Amino acid sequence: MTTNQQIVTGERADILEFLAKHRYFLRHTAQGLIDEQANTRSTVSELTIGGLIKHVTEVEQHWAEFARTGTGEETPTEYTPELIARWENQFRLAEGETLAGVLAAYEKVAAETEELVRTLDLDTSYELPAAPWQPPGVFWSVRRIFLHVAAETAQHAGHADIIRESIDGQKTMG
């Protein structure tokens, strides 16, 4: 929970509710799993439930910082073996990581983002960092950043649901 318990309405309430719903779906896929299961590749992809939660946490943290400051990491121009390994490790539990640990980190980042949704000016816009997949001069409002985080969460909750169903048949819905 956040430290600021003010009541929010309108679009801020909508954004918070949408985020909460899809965060619940993502967390639900991990319910009752042991670390080994959370790190299981049960489909042809490299994705695991623990890794997806870890990835969503990192992505949300990145976008929250961007919403707060308008700055973020530049897209690399050279893909070194170290950078590739870091990217691959983002989608699995690495040595020493636990499902409980990534879930705790996710809760912390989620609470920080919720506070930003409550307090930042949603109309503030920032130019997105340079990247090969977008032309220069693209601006996103803070509102759009939070909608993007919600869409990412929803998409990866669906991925996690497929992985979980392949592990033991549990489904989030249906």
Threshold 0.75, pTM exceeds: yes
Domains in the chain and their CATH numbers? 10-168 (1.20.120.450)
Average pLDDT, consecutive stretches of 10 residues, N- to C-terminus, the chain (174 residues): 68 97 97 96 92 96 96 75 82 94 98 98 94 86 98 97 94 79
Q: Report the distance separating Cα 94 and Cα 91, nearest Å.
A: 9
Decide: 19 and 153 in contact? Cβ < 8 Å. Answer: yes
Geometric angle at alpha carbon 139, from 134 and 144, rounded to 5°: 100
| Residue 78 token pair | 């050279």
In this structure, the chain runs to a length of: 174
Helix axes 49-69, 142-168, angle to 10 degrees: 180
Q: Report the distance separating Cα 96 and Cα 67, nearest Å.
A: 31
- The pLDDT assigned to 174 comes to 65
